[in-house]
């Protein structure tokens, strides 16, 4: 697959231009562009510029409200519900995280359930807002139904990612950002684009047999929860995906389960609504509500040095900390540029 190398600032401007051209307000477009570039910088290529046509397609179909005005509809000291007014999740989730951080500043922690929203991009873009405030950030979202519960052959859950981000002193921040499926759909898309098989344990056919076909989802197949099979405890991955769906969808008043309006174009738009739009759940704990931040950071350094000192498997040079591979990728791509898939680049240029 040919790649086009592009600087991150140039990429940001190209993406920004597309959002603006399609009617998004400047503030929303700026945040959304940064969010997509962040994904490409971190090496989450499925969630960067490659997703831009999807957002624009939904905006044109009226399924994303470009003039959205999110409103808080319920509020306690440490919690709130945000009705995102159908807005772009890349932006509305950041608005929600701002509220969570304000509450954490005052009350020790803050939690915002968001309904009536849309695809929010990489969870890390929202959770990491907590880091510079010396907080621990949490972000999760439900998503297009692609994952079968343990024992099922039909998709009920999204890949339902969850991210927790926190500072780690002199080391890169600890950022666990993971789909609760064995593999995110983006990984299947990449394998399919490259004409490669996928490892057993990522997906099953419509009949519930493990498969190595990267395009199985388009033939009625489903992704498998983390754990992949009964012996691998895939009921745990299913339980985690369920939890994310409930916190993001059920608790917020958004759609959940098979009723989540799909982002991927190969799924039909849902037949009925059980809530509003898709949902997110975001929040933050203030570190010094538990421990002085410098002490916490010092202990995090010790924690990391402890992990790094463990004996390694043959062929493994270094034990990595959650978020470290993405951090290194970002450092490299900031300097050397982002290798955009040629098709993604062509589409981006067409949209200018």
Q: Closest approach of Cβ 58 to a second copy, in Å?
A: 24
Instruction: Point out which span in 9-17, 37-45, 234-242, 262-270 binds a second copy (CB under 8 A).
Output: 234-242
Q: Read off the tokens for 179.
A: 């789909």
Q: Closest approach of Cβ 4 to a second copy, in Å?
A: 29
Q: Closest approach of Cβ 76 to a second copy, in Å?
A: 3
Only one residue has tokens 């993971």, namely 178
CA gap 232, 224 in Å, rounded: 11
Site for a second copy in 136-175 (CB under 8 A): 136, 148-154, 156, 164, 166, 174
Q: What is the DSSP letter of 269?
A: P
N-terminal to C-terminal alpha carbon distance within the chain: 23
- Between the CA of residue 219 and those of 111, 181, 208, 214, 270, what are the distances in Å? 39, 19, 12, 10, 18
Measured from the CB atom, the residue of 115 and 340 that comes closer to a second copy is: 115
Instruction: Point out which span in 13-21, 43-51, 64-72, 177-185 binds a second copy (CB under 8 A).
Output: 177-185
Does the protein bind a second copy through residue 242 (CB under 8 A)?
Answer: yes
Site for a second copy in 12-71 (CB under 8 A): none
Q: Closest approach of Cβ 352 to a second copy, in Å?
A: 37
Does the protein bind a second copy through residue 194 (CB under 8 A)?
Answer: no
Q: Closest approach of Cβ 310 to a second copy, in Å?
A: 4
Measured from the CB atom, the residue of 52 and 131 that comes closer to a second copy is: 131
Q: Which of 25, 54, 169, 201 binds a second copy (CB under 8 A)?
A: 201
Count of chain residues binding a second copy (CB under 8 A): 84
Does the protein bind a second copy through residue 107 (CB under 8 A)?
Answer: yes
Q: Which of 299, 334, 342, 346 binds a second copy (CB under 8 A)?
A: 299
CA gap 172, 114 in Å, rounded: 29
Helix (H) or strand (E) holding 15: helix 8-21
Measured from the CB atom, the residue of 107 and 192 that comes closer to a second copy is: 107
Q: Which of 227, 261, 262, 277 binds a second copy (CB under 8 A)?
A: 227
**Contacts with 175 (C-beta within 8 Å, 6 or more apart), sequence order:** 124, 127, 128, 163, 164, 165, 166, 322, 323, 326, 327
Buried b (16+ CB within 10 A) or exposed e, 239-260: bbbbebbbbbbbbbbbbbbbbb
Q: What is the DSSP string of 70-112?
A: -EEEEE-SSEEEEE-TT--HHHHHHHHHHHHHHHHHHHSEEEE
Q: Find out whether 137 and 97 touch, Cβ atoms under 8 Å.
A: yes
Site for a second copy in 4-23 (CB under 8 A): none
Between 301 and 330, how does the x/- string for binding to a second copy read (CB under 8 A)?
A: -xx--xx--xxxxx-x-xxxxx--------
């Amino acid at each position: 697959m040919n790649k086009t190398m592009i600087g991150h600032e140039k990429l940001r401007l190209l993406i920004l231009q597309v959002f603006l051209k399609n009617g998004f307000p400047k503030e929303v477009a700026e945040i959304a562009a940064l969010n997509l570039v962040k994904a490409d910088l971190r090496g989450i290529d499925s969630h960067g510029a490659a997703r831009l046509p999807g957002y624009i397609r939904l905006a044109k179909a009226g399924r994303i409200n470009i003039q959205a005005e999110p409103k808080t509809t319920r509020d306690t000291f440490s919690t709130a519900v945000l009705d995102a007014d159908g807005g772009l999740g890349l932006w509305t989730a950041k608005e929600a995280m701002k509220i969570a951080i304000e509450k954490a500043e005052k009350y020790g922690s803050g939690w915002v359930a968001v309904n009536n929203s849309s695809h929010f991009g990489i969870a890390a873009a929202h959770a990491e807002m907590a880091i510079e405030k010396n907080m621990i950030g949490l972000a999760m979202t439900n998503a297009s139904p692609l994952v079968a519960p343990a024992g099922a052959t039909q998709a009920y859950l999204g890949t339902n990612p969850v991210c927790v981000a926190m500072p780690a002193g002199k080391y890169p921040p600890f950022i666990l950002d993971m789909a609760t499926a064995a593999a995110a759909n983006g990984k299947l898309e990449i394998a399919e684009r490259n004409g490669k098989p996928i490892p057993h344990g990522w997906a099953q056919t419509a009949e519930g047999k493990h498969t190595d076909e990267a395009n199985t989802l388009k033939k009625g197949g489903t992704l498998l929860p983390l754990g992949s099979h009964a012996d691998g405890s895939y009921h745990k991955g299913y339980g985690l995906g369920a939890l994310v769906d409930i916190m993001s969808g059920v608790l917020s008043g958004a759609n959940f389960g098979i009723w989540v309006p799909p982002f991927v174009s190969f799924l039909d738009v849902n037949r009925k609504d059980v809530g509003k739009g898709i949902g997110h759940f975001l929040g933050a704990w203030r570190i010094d509500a538990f421990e002085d931040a410098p002490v916490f950071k010092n202990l995090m350094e010790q924690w990391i040095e402890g992990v790094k000192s463990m004996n390694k498997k043959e062929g493994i040079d270094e034990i990595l900390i959650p978020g470290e591979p993405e951090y290194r990728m970002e450092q490299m791509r900031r300097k050397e540029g982002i290798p955009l898939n040629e098709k993604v680049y062509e589409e981006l240029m067409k949209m200018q």
